Amino acid sequence: MTVLAFCDYCFGSIEPDDECPHGPDGHWAHVGCCPDRQNGTAATSFSTEKERPAGEVVDLLHADPHRFGPGKTHIWDYQEAKTLCGRSLVKCPGEVEAAGRVGAVTCDLCIRSRRVAERRERERVEAEAQAADARRRWDADRHDREAERERWWAWYDAYLASAEWKARRALVLKRAGGVCEGCGKAPATIAHHTTYEHVGNELLFELRAVCRDCHDRIHPDKAGGA
């Protein structure tokens, strides 16, 4: 088995004495050789009359003529050292032209590969733009949340200093008989919120009379407060 190097459609392995019937108007697929068809069924060739932006600049590989006809013009990838359709200079001998015109390309597989790559690049750019926009929105929302949190704590601190809160706190401590409802031993000095759902207009059962030590156990991350 040898590799057929000069077929513009198929570069899989076939017997060296086999005739490859691939031509400009269609081709026959070898089993395991061409992805488009299997088991010797006919396959339609890609159109070479598609619109192509002739002014775009690309690197080209002008394939040498071979026994099946003139060589095609491919898009050459210098970094990968092969055409966009996957052929190296070993499989597809020819002349490389730097900064050629994409309108000169006659290999439809290269054109299709280029379009796929361009679409993927557009999708990547769009995804990055969407991610950046999401980050900007998140940062803006975070700023708003932080500002709202600061406003809430400023209001809450003012509320704890109000006569209304002091009267409600006194009722809670009186209900507990001045004894901590956490340990049942120490004097209660703090009215602890079990919920902030009605903060500012709390129901008394939403508050618990506790001592400083028990409150610190409830809130180990802060020194105290109600």
**pLDDT for position 12:** 38
**For residue 18, is it left (φ>0), alpha (ψ between -120 and 50) or beta?**
beta
Average pLDDT of 191-216?
95
The pLDDT assigned to 55 comes to 59
Q: The tokens 């088995």 sit on which residue?
A: 1
Whether 225 is in a domain gets the answer: no
> Which of the two residues, 13 and 106, has the higher pLDDT score?
106
Q: Is residue 2 part of a domain?
A: yes
Are 77 and 110 within 8 A, CB to CB?
no
Indicate if 68 and 146 belong to the same structural domain: yes
Tokens describing residue 57: 């600049």
Whether 213 and 142 map to the same domain: the answer is no
The mean pLDDT of the chain is: 79
> What is the model's pLDDT at position 174?
96
Query: Using one digit for the tens of pLDDT, what is the confidence trace for 93-110?
Result: 999 998 888 889 999 999
For 200, the domain range is 162-218
Residue 40 has pLDDT above 90, yes or no: no
Q: Among residues 45, 66, 81, which one ends one of the domains?
A: 45
Global pTM? 0.42
d(C-alpha 200, C-alpha 212), whole Å: 22
Last residue of a domain, one of 116, 131, 152: 152
pLDDT digits (tens, 9 = 90+) for 131-150: 999 999 998 899 889 999 99
My answer on whether 130 and 210 are in the same domain is: no
Query: Which residue carries 């409150």 as its tokens?
Result: 215
Q: Provide the pLDDT confidence category of residue 57 given band limits of 50, 70 and 90.
A: confident
Same domain, yes or no: 1 and 30: yes
Alpha carbon distance 67, 20 (integer Å)? 10
Q: Is the pLDDT of residue 123 over 70?
A: yes
